[in-house]
Structure 1
Amino acid sequence: MLGGDPRKDAIYFVMTARFYDGDTANNRGGSQHTKSGNAANNDPMFRGDFSGLIQKLDYIKGLGFSAIWITPVVLNRSDYDYHGYHGYDFFRIDARLESPGASYQNLIDTAHAKGLKIYQDVVYNHSSRWGAKGLFTPTVYGVRDSQWSWYYDVPNPSFTYDGLAVEPGSGKSYYTGDLWSTPEPAGNTCRNWGVFSGFYSAEGYKVYNCQWPSPTSGMFPSNLYHQCWIGNWEGEDARSCWLHEDLADFNTENPAVQQYLIDAYNRFIDMGVDGFRIDTAVHIPRVTWNRRFLPALEQKLISKYGAAKAKDFYVFGEVAAFVNDKWNRGSVNHSAQFFTWKERATYSADDVTAAIEQFNYENNLGTGNQPTSTNAFLQGNVYHAPDHTRFSGMNIIDMRMHMNFGDAPNAFNNGKDSDDSVNDATYNVVYVDSHDYGPNKSSTRYAGGADAWAENMSLMWTFRGVPTLYYGSEIEFQAGKQIDCGPSCPLANTGRAYYGANVEGSVTAPDFGVVSSASGAVATTLNKPLVKHLQRLNQIRRAVPALQMGQYSTEGVSGQMAYKRRYTSGTVDSFALVAVSGSATFTGIPNGVYTDAVTGASITVTNGTLTATASGKGNLRVYVLALPNNPAPGKIGADTAYLHP
């Protein structure tokens, strides 16, 4: 782990299998290669890899990013598993991502050598539909008759599935011979084994009971897996039932399940990853996080790095609240900020009972009786030491801003409304769109145009939180395209399309946001106006501590998007006034000399008032106060189409 305050970093989010193909030998199309339309495009679902990511680390550094969030790396198993969220063997790296000389460890080490952090996406809530190897994998009913012989491969006891190796008998890397049995196996608990269900597959084939994994069939043991489908997404069952047939829901209140996951993810801490992005965090009770997973994570980090450096490990959870409300349809248990807090009541020792007790206790208290925090806010113009004594250990993706990012002013005005209910909103991960949704739960990638993207970036890179960009947004890649349609359409037509053509060629980045040489298609990409804007924003943010870690205030500030920020710690004292896409007046500020990081212009304030003017959408003013032993940096970077006088 590199260490250092995670708020100093900007994050670039990549789907490894779709970013850059460094080794064609590990490309795999899977069972849906032809049906999806990927075959017609010569575009296997597993295409990008660690080799490709290693080769393009300088591209990411050249954009100015110092942290990379990558999709899950554990061995997956499903019909369409390139994204990484269908974990099958949590103790094994997916072989379709690795190459000789380009293992996951090689990626971590090479990134660290360049000053780049690796944030690994992890899943505690569920496994693949085929269970989790080493914990429980179900045997399903299968028969190699005239209808199903294409699907149920002949068993080969000497072959172990790893997603990459081709089983010689079937000729498949997506071999299924170890998953099925026609005779009812010893110890089977699945009801009505092999009985015709009365239903037919899409091909018109008979479907039998116990042929497909299901929570309600008795196929999965109740001590290890939950036994229901979610019925109410704001109810208790959203934390104790299955999301989808491909996502077998762990009984995370069971000690054996807990230890399996703790042991699996401790291995990646030993490899040196710098943080975890936690998938589907809302679907595990907060009390389970606070009792089991987060303390185990902290204990592991302290034992490896010591208490001080352990705090630099960045944990941010996905609590998918797709509403514009401060609280998710009035349910505190399903709201992102809820997960940043420790428990405030004592519950039963049994984790299953405690989960129900915690849900009811907080649900009955409601939204008006939740803890509040001033950790993100200045006191006038003064930074104050934050109080993290009630912090759970999990930061969050800022779903409130994400949902409101139809435009930057809306995200700013509505997003900050939740900050008093987050333990410390300066640690929020902020993005416009992702591999799942665009703003307002749009199913398409953001398509507001380059000017709107420039404005969004100017806000994210100067307001509180950790700015995060989904791969390709720097060139409006796949803007307006459906983000995900599963195997029902080619990946090339979606927001998860292969990015490699845009970064072919060579690039050298001696520093963050600085490119010394580039050739080929990547040179064209790096020369685009929005990329230049992003590079300069990263340079400015890295030079002004207030923009990275500062508390903020809008007190005494006029302007559509304007705020003051300050960070004070030890010898560092950084105070900045920010205006985005227009004029702003700041009153009641300290007197002194303020210098704009965009233009280099200085203003001497003698009456506590400063007026800043940033003309043009996405343009920006960052007036930094010269303080003892903390001089303003002056103009940072060269003028761009969006950042200029």
Structure 2
Amino acid sequence: MNFKKWASILFAMMLLVSLLSAVGGPTTQAADNSVTLYYKKGFANPYIHYRQADGNWTAAPGVKMADAEVSGYAKTTINIGSSSQLEAVFNNGTGTWDNNGSKNYFFKTGTSTYVPGANNAPGTITSGAPSDTITPTPDPTTPPPSDNFGPVDWSKRSIYFIMTDRFDNGDTSNDNYGGFNSNKSQPIQWHGGDFQGIINRLDYIKNMGFTAIWITPVTMQKSVAAYHGYHTYDFYSVDGHLGNMAKFQELVKTAHSKNIAVMLDVVVNHTGDFMPGNGTAKAPFDKTDWYHNAGEITQNDYNSNNQSRIENGDVANLDDLKQENPAVATELKNWGKWIIQQSNVDGLRVDTAKHVPKWFLKDFDTAVNTFTIGEVFHGDPVYVGDYSNYLDAVLDFPMYYTMRDVFAKDGSMNLIKERYAQDSRYKNPNLNGTFLDNHDVKRFLNEATGKPGANSDKWPQLKAALGFLLTSRGIPIVYQGTEQGFNGGDDPANREDMKFDTNNELYKYIAKVNAIRNSHPALQNGSQKEKWVDNTFYAYQRSSGTDEVVVLINNSWSNETRTIPNLDNFGNGTVLKNQMGTDSVTVNGGSINVTLGPKEVKILTK
């Protein structure tokens, strides 16, 4: 054996270990002489540039800090060898530095927490880990708080849809949570709306006649542009911009006290866009084999109705969950049960449902044991309707397209007749979620053509559409801002910050129609029979027990007179009063003769 050769190799290995210790690279576990540093996120993706005592600096910008187990913090552990302290500065990876006014920061061995100063002022260092440690993942079987509100019959409800971040800022202390600062000048960033803001405005909603709210997802996000809530990072944490679980519970409880049911938006199709180059979602959703990793869905996939790609590919590069992995399916179902039990919400709106396997939607619906309504963004009732066999209901996108064409673009009322002819495709059309617009499409007033010769006069078209929406079959859903005349185009222009003018003509109109709806079971979930249809005029009768209501809609820009025949359950001489005005009409031989002004809606009752 060549002892000199082996001695040389051993000496070289010892020297290499010594050199590596001198460099002091980050480690995942603390050594005997190491610094563990928590960084409260001022920079969303912080880097630490450091050296031990008077040693060599890391190459700029330094080392990217990983997310800590404490929400809103990053963390790193650095072995400093024989040094007594670590000298460091921080930056955002693109040239913005925090260096204590060129004095740098110094950290002793052990654990420290660094909190950046406001407005680029020097930060503060405290000994130990952050005090607001993260709550462990709760047991899905934990009993929920209860206020004995439910169960809810959703067929009788009308829904006001809230994008929480764009609604009302009731607590400015959470505006910059996690280093993702609110900035109203940027339409794709957080704007400050929160649970407290909704609580503060529940009477605004109640006085408009709505009996339910649907709010966007509440799960923890991890991006300055994830204000909408659809890019989940941590399923088991509430995003701090909105509040916390206690405040969410308060919102639900307060809504219930005002007879307002709460529907929560949930996403079981995907997380945020993390893999492969931006880390992972929070455990347990941090495993590569929990995702399809099949690349983005292309326009050709949609055009060819490639359902395999639609279900297994990434929507807008968002990491697509692999429900056929039993661990994923189980965790999603457990989470769904947990969020309901913790918050006491009354139903779930299931986002991107057409991208989720139908068998899993059925399993999820069974597991959560509450009302579910799925978003199936498609115009064909054959395609959309089948999802109502796996969830309790679907959002009625086919009817959305029809109402847009009829009311916003002065189309033929016969299109409504043709749309209703497809109602057999749905398990229960009275549970279809009907809407004029939402946060994913242009506002109704953006699409509306306006009055011929006076194109800016669009509110009569919106009023006619709202009259139909709030009195016809299905669960009507009105998107926040409709009552204020918002007219934004494509996302993000259709996600305006709210105004709360209760004197607005549209606010009062919605309140009036909703008040009539709430007084008549026939308008909530009664049967519906078409009584007249032509290009510009539509009439239908709704019935529930002894309650009978006749709705008349003139979709033209001129006065229209019609004789409406074959009314049910009205004897000769019955006087029907127009609940939208002061006029009335008398039934003669099962018929009524009526005249409606341009774009007028009349609601007739005994």
TM-score range, shorter chain: 0.5 to 0.7
Which aligned pairs between 1:381-460 and structure 2 lie closer than 5 A? 392-404=390-402, 405-408=404-407, 410=411, 412-413=416-417, 415-438=419-442, 449-460=458-469
Superposed counterparts of 1:450-489, under 5 Å:
450-477=459-486, 479-484=487-492
2:386 corresponds, among 338, 360, 370, to 338
Q: Among the aligned pairs, what percent are the same residue?
A: 29
Give 1:116 deviation, angstroms.
Answer: 0.8
1:538–1:338: structure 2 CA closer, same or farther, 3 Å change rule? same
Q: Say whether 1:136 aligns with 2:145.
A: no
* AA in 2 matched with 1:579: L
- CA distance change for structure 1 residues 255 and 585 in 2, over 3 Å: closer, same or farther? farther
The 1-side partners of 2:385 and 2:184 are apart by 43
The verdict on how the C-alpha distance between 1:445 and 1:269 changes in structure 2, with shifts beyond 3 A counting, is farther
* 1:472-551 equivalent positions in 2, closer than 5 A: 472-477=481-486, 479-484=487-492, 494-499=493-498, 502-503=499-500, 525-551=501-527
Match of 1:94 in 2: 239
State the AA in 1 paired with 2:594: A
Higher normalized strand content (fraction of residues): 2
Output the amino acid matched with 1:127: T
Question: May I ask how many residue pairs the two structures share in their alignment?
Answer: 425
Contact kept, 8 Å, 2:296 with 2:314, in 1: the verdict is yes
Among 598, 602, 609, the residue aligned to 2:580: 598
**Deviation readout 1:352-382 (Å, 9 max, x if unpaired):** xxxxxxxxxxxxxxxxxxxxxxxxxxxxxxx
Distance 1:91 1:81 in 2: 17
Whether the 8 Å contact between 1:65 and 1:538 is mirrored in structure 2 is: yes
Select the structure with the greater relative contact order (CA < 8 A; seq sep ≥ 6): 1
Structure 2: runs of 5 or more not aligned: 1-148, 275-279, 451-457, 555-559
Match of 1:609 in 2: 591
Asked whether 1:280 is paired with 2:352, we answer yes
Name the aligned partner's letter for residue 440 of structure 2.
D
1:30–1:80 Cα contact (<8 Å) kept: no
Partners of 1:558 and 1:46 in 2: CA distance = 46
**In structure 1, how many angstroms separate the alpha carbons of the residues matched to 2:191 and 2:247?**
16
- Which among 49, 69, 81 is matched to residue 226 of structure 2? 81
Give the secondary-structure state (helix, strand or coil) at the position aligned to 1:87: coil
**Structure 2 Cα separation of the partners of residues 241 and 137 of structure 1:** 18
TM-score normalised according to structure 1 size: 0.61
Are 2:488 and 2:496, in contact at CA under 8 Å, matched by a contact in 1?
no
The 1:536/1:93 distance shift into structure 2, 3 A limit, reads same
Contact in 2 for aligned 1:445/1:483 (Cα 8 Å): no
Local SS of the residue matching 2:236? strand
Counterpart residue identity of residue 614, structure 1: L
Structure 2 match to 1:105 = 249
AA paired with 1:578? Answer: V
- In 2, Cα distance between the equivalents of 1:533 and 1:459? 13
Correspondence for 2:153: 5
Show the 5 A alignment for 1:17-36: 17-28=165-176
Alpha carbons of 1:556 and 1:452: their partners in 2 closer, same or farther (altered >3 Å)? closer
Deviation at 1:3, TM superposition (A): 3.1
Q: Flag the structure with larger Rg.
A: 2
SS in structure 1 opposite 2:596? coil
Inter-partner Cα distance in structure 1 for 2:244 and 2:282:
23
Shift of 1:265: 1.4
Of 588, 598, 606, 2:566 maps to 588
SS at match of 1:261: helix
Residue from 263, 277, 282 that aligns with 1:119? 263
Match for residue 314 of structure 1 among 365, 368, 371 = 371
2:522 partner SS: helix
* Structure 2 residue aligned with 1:214: none
The correspondence of residues 208-227 of structure 1 with structure 2, limited to 5 A, is 220-221=288-289, 223-227=290-294
Contact 2:188 2:225 (C-alpha < 8 Å) held by counterparts: no
The equivalent of 1:621 in structure 2 is 602
**2:326 match:** 255
Which residue identity does 1:110 align to in structure 2?
A: T
Contact 2:541-2:567 at 8 Å conserved across structures: no
- For the Cα contact (< 8 Å) 1:447–1:476, is it kept in 2? no
| Deviation readout 1:293-338 (Å, 9 max, x if unpaired) | 122123xxxxxxxxxxxxxx432110011x4xx45xxxx5xx2111
Amino acid of the residue matched to residue 420 of structure 1? Answer: S
Q: Is the 8 A contact 2:374 2:391 kept in 1?
A: no
Q: 1:447 to 1:52 in 2, by over 3 A?
A: farther
Question: In 2, Cα distance between the equivalents of 1:241 and 1:588?
Answer: 52
Distance in 2, Cα, partners of 1:63 & 1:18 = 19
Query: With structure 2 as the length reference, what TM-score do the two structures score?
Result: 0.65
Q: Which amino acid aligns with 1:430?
A: T
**Cα offset for 1:612?**
2.7
Distance across 1 between alignment mates of 2:534 and 2:159: 30
Distance 2:251 2:285 in 1: 30
**Deviation larger for 12-21 or 127-136:** 127-136
Tell me the C-alpha RMSD between the 2 structures.
2.8
2:460 is paired with a residue whose SS is helix
1:473 counterpart letter in structure 2:
T
Residues 559 and 314 (structure 1), Cα distance of their counterparts in 2 relative to 1, 3 Å cut? farther
Contact 2:217-2:265 within 8 A present in 1 as well: yes
Check whether the contact 1:595–1:602 (CA below 8 A) recurs between aligned residues.
Answer: yes
Could you tell me how far apart the structure 1 residues matched to 2:334 and 2:360 are? 16
